[in-house]
Amino acid sequence: MKKYLYVIIGLLSWHSPGQAQQEDIVRAHQAIGHAGEYAMVCGVIASTRYLQDARGAPTYLNFDKPYPDAEFSAIVFGKNRENFSPAPETLTGYKACVYGKIRVYKGKPQIELVTAEQLSVKPPK
């Protein structure tokens, strides 16, 4: 968990606050090309889904296109939901960036979110 915090602090200190350079950001549709890497992936949360009765009680944040067409998703497992406020499933329509290791599951890239520091959101206008 500290690893994520140090990486985010490092990213913020590398650039002036709030001004990440364009080449540092991976767009949701580009995430598959960065599988296995730690990256900041940004886009619009097109749909969310909280599967409270499924194994692990995951919440999916689907970027740019709603499920099942999303090209990238962030996932919050039930054991980590208390770390997020507001609840992740309420973020549909928000612009968001997530940071973590991009993994591929069933052919789709995703990042698991464990702490709120991995997620940055901007409400829709």
**Tokens describing residue 103:** 């993994």
User: What pLDDT, on a 0 to 100 scale, did the predictor assign at position 23?
Assistant: 54
In this predicted structure, the answer to whether residue 114 has a pLDDT above a threshold of 60 is: yes
| Whether 110 contacts 61, CB under 8 Å | no
- Domain 21-122 in CATH 3.40.50.620: no
Per residue in 78-100, pLDDT (tens digit) is 999 999 999 999 999 999 999 99
**pTM value?**
0.82
Q: Annotate 60-120 with DSSP letters as a single string.
A: EEEESS-TTS-SEEEEE-GGGGGG-SS-GGG-TT-EEEEEEE-EEETTEEEEE--SGGGEE
Write down the pLDDT at residue 24: 78
Which pLDDT tens digit goes with each residue over 6-62?
444 444 433 333 444 455 799 999 999 999 999 999 999 999 999 999 999 999 999
